[in-house]
Structure 1
Amino acid sequence: MNDDDPGVPEAGTYAVDFRDGSVGQVMGCEGGLVQLRPLGGGREWDCPPEKVGQALPGEVLRERVRLVNREGRLP
């Protein structure tokens, strides 16, 4: 957890956006919002700190498997 805000996971860790269940890597906080990046890379999104929590290892693994499966389906 982040020392500045104990409810926000630290940068570099993985978190869940409770609004839709998305898993992302915590990039930092800016403007009072937590910035998350998809595990496979891509555009960051902002999440209110009260709507984000640390991702469990199983949630991170499940997202990684989704990415591998999606890549396997590409032509």
Structure 2
Amino acid sequence: MSAQNVPTDEQDPVHVPESGTLVVDTSRDRVGEFRGVAGPYWSLRPVCGGREWEAKPEHVRPADPIERLRAETARCNARSRGDVL
């Protein structure tokens, strides 16, 4: 999926990240991998595997460098344990 602008209800267009981009769902205080757009929501996947969840675009922001580093380290550790496919 390429980046695009998707209008939301009475708001400015929101930049849709590339699939696989690490983002933070501020409503859950959780880092996830952007998977795509599902109606008015964005689908996010846990970095170390698990069930996807949906978040409102206005509650999602790009992960900052330290959040990306922590998420990538957690993913590597999970892979070394065999927890991530």
Give the CA RMSD over aligned residues.
2.4
Unaligned runs of 5+ in 2: 7-13
Match of 2:55 in 1: 47
Map of 2:35 onto structure 1: 27
Are residue 61 (structure 1) and residue 69 (structure 2) matched?
A: yes
Instruction: Report if the CA contact (8 A) 2:32-2:46 is conserved.
Output: yes
Q: What is the aligned-residue identity percentage?
A: 39
TM-score normalised over the length of structure 2: 0.67
Greater gyration radius: 2
2:44–2:54: 8 Å Cα contact kept in structure 1? yes
Q: Which letter does structure 1 place at the counterpart of 2:67? A: E
Deviation sequence 1:15-71 (CA, Å, 0-9, x none): 0000121000000011110000001111000000110011112102223445638x8
Q: How many residues align?
A: 71
Gap regions ≥5 residues in structure 1: none
Structure of greater relative contact order (alpha carbons < 8 Å, 6+ residues apart)? 1
Q: Is the 8 A contact 1:15 1:24 kept in 2?
A: yes
